[in-house]
Amino acid sequence: MRPRETLTESQDERLLQVRLACPDIARAGDLARAFADLVRHQRRYLLLKWIRQAEQHAPKPTRGFAGSLRQDLDAVTAVLTLPWSSGAVEGHVNRVKTIKRAMS
């Protein structure tokens, strides 16, 4: 999932071999990159197009993910539209869980 320009020549060559050997991996990788870009840049207008592509052309696990996005479309659209984030709260929850595990 790293940007192609950060790969070494041998890594880029190996990636090409894997993509040629397994088209499902290539499709899943392409869709994952497109989804990451869509979320990172909050391109809500591309969400339904991405879901349709994933439902039609992706390997089964990615199709399932796309279906779950469609089921909760309002929440996913809100994430891509609104400026609020639960990231800070999630960070605190993660820290508390880490401390709790360390104490066990």
pLDDT in tens, 56-75: 989 999 999 999 999 999 99
Q: In which band, very low, low, confident or very high, does the pLDDT at 51 lie, cut at 50, 70 and 90? A: very high
Domain-wise residue ranges, the chain: 4-103
Question: Which pLDDT does position 55 carry in this prediction?
Answer: 94
Burial of 2 (0-12, 13-18, 19+ CB in 10 A): exposed
List the structure tokens of 88: 């800070």
